Amino acid sequence: MSAVSDERTTVAPGSTGQMAGGDPRLDKLVHRMPQRVGDVVSYLLKPSSRWVRIPSGALLVVGGVLSFLPVLGVWMLPLGLALLAEDVPALRSSRSKVFDWIERKKPHWLDPSIPEK
C-alpha cells in the first residue's frame, strides 16, 4: 500500500466539505485532475494555506506572462489567477463568470458522464 494523502476527500467534522472558495464547480475540476496534482491544488485551496497560495499564484501569473520563454507556458496564467481569486474578491467574480461559461460551453469538463460535442 502506498501512503498517499487523501486531502481532496477528507472532511473535517462540522465543515461542509467544500474548499476555500465554496464553489462546487472548482471542486469538480480539482477532482478531475491527476491524483498528485489534485492533492497539491487541494492543499493550496485550503484556507490555512493562504501564505503559500498567494506567492504561488503570483509566481504562476508571472510565469504565464513570460510564456514566450522555454518551460513556462500560458497554462500558468489561469491557474495563478484561480489561486489568487481565493483571496482577491475582484478576481472571485471573474472566476465565477468563467465557471458559468464552462457550464454552458464545456459541461463535460465538470461532469464526465456528459458526452463531448
**Distance of alpha carbon 90 from alpha carbon 55, whole angstroms:** 18
In 3D space, the residue among 87, 61, 86, 55 whose CA is nearest the CA of residue 76 turns out to be 61
Q: 71 is in which domain, residue-wise? A: 24-109
Domain annotation covers residue 105: yes
Domain annotation covers residue 86: yes
Domain annotation covers residue 95: yes
Q: What's the pLDDT score for residue 65?
A: 92
- pTM (predicted TM-score): 0.69
Q: How confident is the model at residue 58 (pLDDT cuts 50, 70, 90)?
A: very high
Give the total number of structural domains in the chain: 1
Helices (H) and strands (E) in the chain, counts: 5, 0
70 pLDDT above the threshold of 90: no
Distant-in-sequence, close-in-space partners of 67: CB < 8 Å, separation ≥ 6: 73, 74, 76, 77
Cell of 114: 456528459
46 pLDDT above the threshold of 60: yes
76 pLDDT above the threshold of 90: no
pLDDT tens digit sequence for 7-31:
444 444 444 444 555 778 888 888 8
